[in-house]
Amino acid sequence: MSLNGTSAADVQRLQQLQQGVWSPLPLIRRRWLRVSLNLGVLAYVIAAWLSVDVNWDRVAQGMDRGVEFVASFMSPDFVSRSGEIFVGLQESLTMTFTATIIGVLLAVPVGLGAARNIAPAPVYYICRTIIALSRTFQEIIIAILFVAMFGFGPLAGVITLAFATIGFMAKLLAEDIEDAQREPLEAIRATGGTWLQWVNYAVQPQVMPRLIGLSLYRLDINFRESAVIGIVGAGGIGATLNTSINRYDYDTSAAILLLIIAIVLLSEYFSGYVRRWTQ
């Protein structure tokens, strides 16, 4: 038994233990540090709360508008703008599917390269950089850039969503590969197959269920995002929604939001079903 690092505190704990007194080790062992950290966090929260300047008159005004908006959910208007809504939805769904497929296809090689246990160091760093770039910027910022580059419309939207999908999928795929069981990886390598055969036989079966689950999850994230990036001009149902809000046409906005909710719920149900089936 090694006695290195035995301190007076350890001895005291052991003596107390003998007398039946024991409590788990605290996360931070130095008492003064533990106490002052806790007090510091509390003080910060109070200071932060006091520094927020709330204009209660404006809140009261906004409440009315908010109530109006919520009330319109009781009378959604699917009919008077049905043409625009239909075109918007169709465009959003097309954008979503195209972007998800392109994004997932591009994410697979990046994800393989970003898995520490299977990629050599230079490839690993390149792929991690791609992931970091893609994940740093929120979809709206990327959308603004691509709208500026490719003009208004769904092309900018598709490229935005595909780009965001790469970072998301590649990161989670790489993590799943890093969690793969080591022994099957060794076993297939020991058969003398090529790298591609090894990926196909040892890696793919272990990560496929997760890859499918994540792709479906990303599909519904992309649908929701397509509604948001439409507001900055990247096409789809978001553009329609934005127009209706600007016109104070809350009944149509409510109809659009209800449709978005319905589609997200449907895809949620569908992806749960597929995930159970691929396990």
Partner 1 sequence: MLTLSGVSKRYQTSELALSDIDLTIPAGQVIALIGPSGAGKSTLIRCVNRLIEPTDGKVQLDSEDITRVRGARLRQARRQIGMIFQNYALVERLSVMENVLSGRLAYVGFWRSYFRRFPKSDIQQAFHLLRRVGLETMFDKRGDALSGGQKQRVGIARALMQNPKLLLVDEPTASLDPKTSRQIMRLICDLCREQQLAAIINIHDVVLAQQFVDRVVGLRAGRIVFDGSPQDLSPAILTSIYGEEDWEVPADNEDDDERSPPEDRVRTLTVDAHP
User: Residues in the site for partner 1, rule: CB under 8 A?
Assistant: 3, 6-8, 10-11, 14-15, 18, 181, 183-184, 186-194, 196-198, 200-202, 205-206, 208-209
- The residue (of 48 and 190) whose beta carbon lies closer to partner 1 is 190
Smallest gap from residue 123 Cβ to partner 1 (A): 17
Amino acid in the structure at residue 110: V
Smallest gap from residue 136 Cβ to partner 1 (A): 33
Smallest gap from residue 127 Cβ to partner 1 (A): 22
- The residue (of 94 and 206) whose beta carbon lies closer to partner 1 is 206
Smallest gap from residue 31 Cβ to partner 1 (A): 20
Smallest gap from residue 14 Cβ to partner 1 (A): 6
- The residue (of 188 and 221) whose beta carbon lies closer to partner 1 is 188
- The residue (of 180 and 259) whose beta carbon lies closer to partner 1 is 180
- The residue (of 14 and 37) whose beta carbon lies closer to partner 1 is 14
